[in-house]
């Protein structure tokens, strides 16, 4: 069998494969060349440079597995690979330490003004008084996103004598206490922190979550760090805030556009440190991810089971029954997670109807995946979702009931955050998944885009105000319905939205008289 190793895979990973397979090493390969040669290979190893798009996969006549030497698989069309029966694997933990340490390095460099001090020293200057820094000891670090990297940064910050505030919808008191972190709301974290670091995925909900309105509420001595995803901190606003003294400084490793344009607003701003996406760029991390993926490819080509992100282990008979429900289950998990307020403590999944005749555990995992994926910094898949839920002490209960009422098959998902329960139900109409109930309101929602869920007073004028606000902000509504419940005077509006909704518009939306709340659910981030 033949393996194509592209994008500069570490030699240690290559050596694992050479005894048993023919390995063709192409450190730099164009898309056109990849299209031309891919039919002859049984396995493909890539980092981030090569784009394994649908047209590449279509031509991959012999390809059995694609390995991404890293965490994200944004450069791989996973859906196309799945449709063709090609396994996709990655290395979710291989660069955790590297990203954690780079975040800490950026924080220290920012606090002590190391880059500019070095630059002026190299130019022959001696400016001890000019580059007086600040200590980490006794300061408060706000960590937005308490996944593996966020938790790792928190532990190291505590060793420096810092108090750590953590914001994460999926961390509870027990988990936070084990790390030494105090749970905070996002507002509390923004207002109280001396340093703030973000470790969230980039979604419609997190894009620009730190912008000028948030920066104006921070201490003017605050310093911001982003080694997660470009765009979580609004780059234009950050440049302006540092220039005007609203924010003391920033250290940024990731950008909305990479490579970074020459005229980018963050360039040449005093007190802003920039690095070219170096979070995972250590010798150890590059070896680690390459070895992880090489071992996975070797196992797969030898017919052994592997932890693929797209092909869970399940019997063919069960898969035929449950496969139409997998996306629906993920979307239901995403929906209840978006509704929930506070740390989720319990998840209950109930299956009704014919579907209960097969093993439904994979569907429960799909619910967990959908619940966690939008808020996790790393990719959540069918392999690691249960473990991540366990880390966060989320109790998962699965119940099967073969009785039926309104629908021949029904999935009910409930989460509790202590004293509150949030729920959603879904079924299939033909082969299409539909959400048919949200928090007790009967609806009929096609969960393939982004939706806005709005409980409101049932009175004239509410819908008109909603349409005017969104239309005025050039946000198109492609579908709308109102679900009713037994609670008198209360309805649920569900809007299908074509465009992202900025946080400021969402806040204005919630302030409309008669609107109780508004929760955005972006199914594209699953």
Q: What is the CATH number of the domain that holds 380?
A: 3.30.1330.90
Judgement on whether residues 241 and 209 belong to the same structural domain of the protein: yes
**Within a domain: 330:** yes
- Specify whether the CB–CB gap between 206 and 232 falls below 8 A: yes
Q: How far apart are the C-alpha atoms of 107 and 416, rounded to whole Å?
A: 36
Helix (H/G/I), strand (E/B), else coil: 493 = strand
- Within-domain flag for 470: yes
Q: Which of 117, 33, 78 has the alpha carbon at shortest distance from 526? A: 78
**pLDDT of 524 strictly over 90:** no
Helix (H) or strand (E) holding 123: none
Q: What does the pLDDT average to over 79-102?
A: 87
- pLDDT confidence band for 12 (50 / 70 / 90): very high
69's CB contacts (< 8 A; 6+ apart) are: 7, 9, 10, 13, 45, 46, 47, 90, 91, 94, 286, 289, 290, 292, 293
The domain boundary, picked from 274, 293, 328, lies at: 274
Nearest alpha-carbon partner for 4 in 350, 256, 272, 297? 297
The structure tokens listed for 143 are 């960590």
What average pLDDT does this structure show over 254-260?
Answer: 92
For residue 146, pLDDT over 90 is answered with yes
pLDDT of 251 over the 60 cut: yes
> Strand, helix or coil at 66?
strand
Indicate the range of 68-72, 131-135, 314-318, 384-388 predicted with least confidence. 314-318
In this prediction, residues 139-168 reach a mean pLDDT of 96
Give the pair of three-digit tokens for residue 363. 């569907």
177 located within any domain: yes
**Chain-centre distance of CA 470, in angstroms?**
26
**What pLDDT, on a 0 to 100 scale, did the predictor assign at position 380?**
78
Q: Which of 68, 175, 207, 229 is catalytic?
A: 229
Asked if residue 231 belongs to a domain, the reply is yes
Buried b (16+ CB within 10 A) or exposed e, 378-391: bbbbbbbbbebbeb
pLDDT for 376 beyond 90: no
d(CA 467, CA 235): 30
Model confidence at 404: pLDDT above 80: no
* pLDDT tens-digit series, residues 267-321: 999 999 999 999 989 999 999 999 999 999 999 899 886 778 876 556 667 778 8
| 310/322 Cα distance (integer angstroms) | 15
pLDDT at 482: 87
Beta bridge partners of 425: 412, 437
**Segment among 51-60, 77-86, 159-168, 282-291 with least mean pLDDT:** 77-86
Judgement on whether residues 87 and 174 belong to the same structural domain of the protein: no
Range(s) of the domain holding residue 73: 2-92+283-301
- pLDDT for 324 beyond 80: yes
Q: Of 418, 433, 448, which residue constitutes the final position of a domain?
A: 448
Given a cut of 60, is residue 76 above it in pLDDT?
yes
Q: Is 517 helix (H, G, I), strand (E, B) or coil?
A: coil
Residue 229 annotated among the catalytic residues of the structure: yes
Highest-scoring range by mean pLDDT, 178-182, 482-486, 519-523: 178-182
Residues 6+ apart with CB under 8 A from 36: none
Residue 163's pLDDT band (boundaries 50, 70, 90)? very high
**Ordered DSSP codes for 144-202:** E--SHHHHHHHHHHHHTT-EEEEE-TT--HHHHHHHT-EE--HHHHHHH-SEEEE----
Residue 307 in any domain: the answer is no
* Number of alpha carbons in the 13 Å side-chain half-sphere of residue 369: 24
Residues 46, 6 contacting (CB under 8 angstroms) = yes
| Rounded Cα distance, 229 and 102, in Å | 14
pLDDT at 375: 78
Q: Which of 257, 258, 284, 341 is catalytic?
A: 258
Q: Is residue 306 part of a domain?
A: no
CATH number for the domain harbouring residue 520: 3.30.70.260
Bridge partners of 224?
196, 250
Q: Which two tokens stand for residue 53?
A: 């798009």
Residues 329 and 440 in one domain: yes
- Active-site option among 26, 59, 264, 277: 277
My answer on whether omega of the bond before 387 falls inside 30° of 0, hence cis, is no
Confidence at residue 205, expressed as pLDDT on a 0 to 100 scale? 87
CA nearest neighbour of 312 among 364, 378, 389: 364
Same domain, 135 and 261: yes
Instruction: Supply the pTM of this predicted model.
Output: 0.74
Q: Identify whether residues 492 and 458 lie together within a single domain.
A: yes
Mean pLDDT of 74-95: 84
SS3 283: helix
pLDDT of 351 > 70? The answer is: yes
- Structure tokens that stand for 103 in this block: 């975040």
Strand partners, 497: 450, 477
Same-domain status, 369 and 411: yes
Beta bridge partners of 274: 252
Bridge partners of 491, per DSSP, are 456, 484
pLDDT for position 80: 86
CB 426 within 8 A of CB 411: yes
Structure confidence at residue 195 (pLDDT): 98
Residue 418's pLDDT is 82
Q: What is the DSSP string of 436-462?
A: EEETTEEEEE--SSEEEEEEEE-STTH
Placement of tokens 């969230």 in the chain: 200
Active site residue 277: yes
Residue 60 has pLDDT above 90, yes or no: yes
Residue 225, token pair as written in the block = 């760090």
H or E element, residue 382 = none
pLDDT tier, 448 (very low <50, low <70, confident <90, very high otherwise) = confident
Give residue 488's pLDDT band: very low, low, confident or very high (50, 70, 90).
Answer: low
Residue 376 resides in a domain: yes
* 454 within 8 A of 466, measured Cβ to Cβ: yes
Per the structure block, which two tokens stand in for 126? Answer: 């001696």
DSSP class of residue 64? -
Q: Which residues share a beta bridge with 248?
A: none
Residue 449 has pLDDT above 90, yes or no: no
Angle formed by the axes of helices 96-112 and 148-159, nearest 10°: 40
Torsional sign, CA 332, 334, 340, 342: positive
Q: What are phi and psi of 192, to 5 degrees?
A: -105, -15
Considering the domain boundaries, does residue 308 fall inside one?
no
Same domain for 232 and 144? yes
The mean pLDDT of the chain is: 91
**What confidence score (pLDDT) does residue 526 get?**
63
Based on the structure, what is the number of domains in the chain?
4
Q: Give the end of a domain, one of 430, 448, 466.
A: 448
**Judgement on whether residues 372 and 505 belong to the same structural domain of the protein:** no
Which of 71-75, 280-284, 358-362, 489-493 has the least mean pLDDT?
71-75
Q: Measuring CA to CA, how many Å separate 67 from each of 24, 78, 471, 518?
A: 15, 11, 44, 40
**What integer pLDDT is reported at residue 162 of this predicted model?**
98
214 vs 487 pLDDT, higher one: 214
Q: Does 383 share its domain with 507?
A: no
Q: Is the pLDDT of residue 503 over 90?
A: no
Domain match, 218 and 295 both:
no
Based on its alpha-carbon atoms, the radius of gyration of the chain, rounded to whole angstroms, reads 25
Percent of the chain with pLDDT over 90: 70
Q: What is the mean pLDDT of residues 238-266?
A: 96
Q: Residue by residue, what is the 3-state secondary structure of 407-443?
A: CCEEEEEEEECCCCEEEEEEEEECCEEEEEEECCEEE
Please write the tens of the pLDDT for every residue from 428-446.
998 899 999 999 999 999 9
Same domain, 161 and 252: yes
pLDDT at 309: 82
* Residue 296 and residue 319 in one domain: no
Q: Look up residue 275 and give its DSSP letter.
A: -
| CATH number for the domain harbouring residue 47 | 3.40.50.720
Confidence grade of residue 250 (pLDDT, cut at 50, 70, 90): very high
> Which pLDDT tens digit goes with each residue over 108-128?
999 999 999 999 999 999 999
């Amino acid at each position: 069998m033949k393996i194509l190793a592209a994008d500069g895979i570490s030699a240690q990973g290559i050596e694992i494969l050479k005894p048993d397979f023919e390995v063709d090493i192409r450190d730099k390969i164009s898309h056109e060349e990849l299209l031309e040669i891919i039919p002859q290979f049984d396995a493909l190893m890539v980092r981030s440079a090569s784009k394994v798009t649908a047209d590449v996969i279509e031509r991959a006549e012999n390809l059995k597995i694609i390995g991404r030497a890293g965490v994200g698989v944004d450069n791989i069309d996973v859906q196309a690979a799945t449709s063709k029966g090609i396994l996709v694997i990655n290395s979710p933990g291989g660069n955790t330490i590297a990203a954690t340490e780079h975040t800490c390095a950026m924080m220290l460099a920012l606090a002590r003004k190391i880059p500019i001090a070095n630059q002026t020293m190299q130019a022959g200057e001696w400016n001890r008084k000019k580059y007086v820094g600040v200590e980490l000891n006794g300061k408060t670090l706000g960590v937005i996103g308490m996944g593996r990297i966020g938790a790792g940064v928190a532990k190291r910050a505590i060793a420096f004598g810092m108090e750590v505030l953590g914001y994460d919808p999926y961390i509870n008191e027990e988990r936070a206490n084990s790390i030494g972190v105090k749970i905070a709301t996002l507002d509390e974290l923004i207002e109280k922190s001396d340093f703030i670091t973000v470790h969230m995925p980039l979604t419609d909900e997190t894009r620009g979550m730190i912008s000028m309105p948030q920066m104006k509420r921070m201490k003017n001595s605050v310093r911001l760090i982003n080694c997660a995803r470009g765009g979580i901190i609004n780059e234009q606003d950050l440049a302006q805030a540092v220039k005007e003294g609203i924010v003391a400084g920033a250290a940024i490793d990731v950008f909305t556009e990479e490579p970074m344009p020459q005229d980018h607003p963050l360039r040449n701003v005093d007190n802003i440190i920039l690095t070219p996406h170096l979070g995972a760029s250590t010798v150890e991390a590059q070896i680690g991810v390459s070895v992880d993926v090489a071992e996975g490819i070797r196992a797969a080509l030898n017919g052994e089971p592997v932890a693929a992100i797209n092909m869970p282990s399940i019997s063919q008979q069960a898969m035929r029954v449950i496969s139409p429900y997998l996306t629906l289950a993920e979307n239901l998990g995403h929906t209840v997670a978006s509704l929930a307020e506070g740390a989720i403590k319990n998840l209950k999944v109930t299956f009704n109807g014919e579907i209960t005749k097969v093993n439904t555990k994979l569907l429960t995992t799909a619910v967990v995946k959908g619940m966690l994926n939008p808020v996790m910094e790393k990719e959540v898949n069918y392999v690691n979702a249960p473990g991540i839920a366990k880390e966060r002490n989320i109790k998962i209960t699965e119940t099967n009931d073969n009785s039926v009422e309104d629908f021949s098959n029904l999935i009910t998902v409930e989460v509790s955050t202590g004293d509150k329960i949030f729920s959603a139900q879904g079924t299939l109409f033909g082969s299409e998944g539909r959400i048919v109930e949200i928090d007790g309101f009967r609806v009929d929602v096609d969960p393939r885009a982004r939706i806005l869920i709005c409980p409101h007073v049932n009175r004239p004028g509410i819908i008109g105000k909603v349409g005017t606000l969104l239309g005025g902000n050039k946000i198109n509504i492609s579908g709308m319905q109102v679900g009713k419940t037994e609670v008198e005077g209360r309805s649920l509006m569900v809007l299908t939205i074509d465009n992202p909704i900025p946080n400021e518009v969402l806040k204005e939306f919630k302030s409309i008289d008669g609107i109780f709340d508004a929760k955005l659910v972006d199914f594209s981030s699953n």
